């Protein structure tokens, strides 16, 4: 213990990598703010941080960078170290963090998905416009031309692009699906050249979906913002719901509203803690 305390006293800012832990409905994230400058993250370091036993643990990692034409730029990583085009709940979490930092009720975030607006929705909730859904096969993308509303896969799922690809299966009872096996099977389906997120959805009431999620490069998650947007869009296209939908996930509820200007997602966020990785951990990755 004495050696540990001496090491902690001798540690300087250069010896560690600051980070924050956040979550939206249990969909958890490590957030690293690089606006003041720090070394880029390697895939191996991202995967090491994702390890829930030897690292910190997360569903996705978000990096905040400076941007000249927005309040910040966000870069996302999956737990296996691969890059993700977007992450809705992480965008809401970072949006709330930046609104608290600036004292404003609206920020603009630049992502691979485009410019996303995050706003204070009142009652402690944060909403973000995730942009227009991508419905054409080449934009999602799919491997070949086909109708994205019903794929030639058993169960006839719907494909949707939300900056990352999604495959939504509508089932009688989402709870009954063995998601660990089901999601792993379809994540790597040959129709999805970039792999896909997989959702199983059940209609449990008017404009009310029960949703369970498998995220590519991560696995089963308690919630997923982009998956919720994709499932709501798919349900509206199928005529199962209207365009404003309540989505019940394992971790809680999101409100999705597919408007003319994009798909808006509203829900809670939580900044759990701020801390640092040691130099020894970073060097070992």
Neighbours of 236 (CB within 10 A): 19
DSSP state of 81: S
Is there a contact between 123 and 115 (Cβ–Cβ < 8 Å)? no
- ∠ CA 26-33-36, rounded to 5°: 170
What pLDDT, on the 0 to 100 scale, is given for residue 82?
92
- Only one residue has tokens 């606006």, namely 35
Is there a contact between 238 and 150 (Cβ–Cβ < 8 Å)? no
What pLDDT, on the 0 to 100 scale, is given for residue 7?
42
What pLDDT, on the 0 to 100 scale, is given for residue 15?
58
Q: Where in the chain is the domain with CATH 3.10.310.10?
A: 2-130+269-284, 158-260
Query: What's the start-to-end Cα distance of the chain, in Å?
Result: 25
- Only one residue has tokens 């400076």, namely 66
What pLDDT, on the 0 to 100 scale, is given for residue 39?
74
What pLDDT, on the 0 to 100 scale, is given for residue 36?
87
Each residue's pLDDT expressed in tens, for the chain with a length of 285 residues: 344 334 444 445 455 899 999 999 999 999 999 998 877 899 999 999 999 999 999 999 999 999 999 999 999 999 999 998 889 999 999 999 999 999 999 999 999 888 999 999 999 999 999 999 999 999 999 999 999 999 999 999 999 999 999 999 999 999 999 999 999 999 999 999 999 999 999 999 999 999 999 999 999 999 999 999 999 999 999 999 999 999 999 999 999 999 999 999 999 999 999 999 999 999 998
Indicate if the alpha-carbon torsion angle 49, 273, 32, 222 is positive or negative: positive
Topology at the third CATH level for domain 2-130+269-284 = Diaminopimelate Epimerase; Chain A, domain 1 (3.10.310)
- Mapped onto helix, strand or coil, the DSSP state of residue 191 is coil
| CATH class of the domain comprising 158-260 | alpha beta
Give the pair of three-digit tokens for residue 2.
Answer: 């004495």
Give the pair of three-digit tokens for residue 42.
Answer: 């390697």
**What is d(CA 264, CA 197) in angstroms, rounded to the nearest whole number?**
19
**What is d(CA 22, CA 202) in angstroms, rounded to the nearest whole number?**
28
| Selection from 162, 161, 130 nearest residue 265 by Cα | 130
């Amino acid at each position: 213990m004495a050696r540990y305390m001496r090491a902690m006293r001798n540690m300087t800012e250069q010896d560690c990598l600051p980070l924050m832990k956040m979550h939206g409905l249990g969909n958890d994230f490590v957030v690293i703010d690089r606006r003041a400058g720090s070394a880029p993250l390697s895939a191996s370091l991202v995967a090491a941080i994702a390890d829930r036993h030897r690292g910190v643990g997360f569903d996705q990692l978000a990096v905040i960078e400076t941007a000249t034409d927005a309040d910040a730029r966000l870069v996302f990583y999956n737990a296996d170290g691969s890059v993700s085009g977007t992450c809705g709940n992480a965008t809401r979490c970072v949006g709330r963090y930046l609104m608290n930092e600036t004292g404003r009720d609206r920020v603009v975030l630049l992502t691979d998905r485009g410019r996303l607006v995050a706003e204070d929705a009142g009652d402690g909730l944060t909403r973000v416009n995730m942009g227009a859904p991508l419905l054409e096969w080449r934009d999602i993308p799919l491997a070949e031309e086909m109708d994205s509303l019903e794929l030639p896969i058993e169960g006839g799922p719907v494909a949707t692009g939300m900056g990352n690809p999604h495959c939504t299966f509508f089932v009688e009872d989402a709870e009954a699906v063995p998601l660990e096996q089901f999601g792993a099977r379809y994540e790597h389906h040959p129709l999805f050249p970039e792999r896909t997120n997989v959702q199983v959805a059940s209609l449990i009431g008017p404009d009310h979906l029960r949703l369970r999620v498998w995220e590519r490069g991560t696995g089963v998650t308690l919630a997923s913002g982009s998956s919720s947007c994709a499932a709501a869009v798919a349900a509206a296209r199928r005529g199962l719901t209207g365009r404003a939908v309540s989505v019940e996930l394992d971790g809680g509820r999101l409100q999705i509203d597919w408007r003319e200007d994009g798909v808006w997602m509203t829900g809670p966020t939580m900044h759990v803690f701020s801390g640092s990785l040691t130099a020894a951990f970073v060097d070992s990755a």
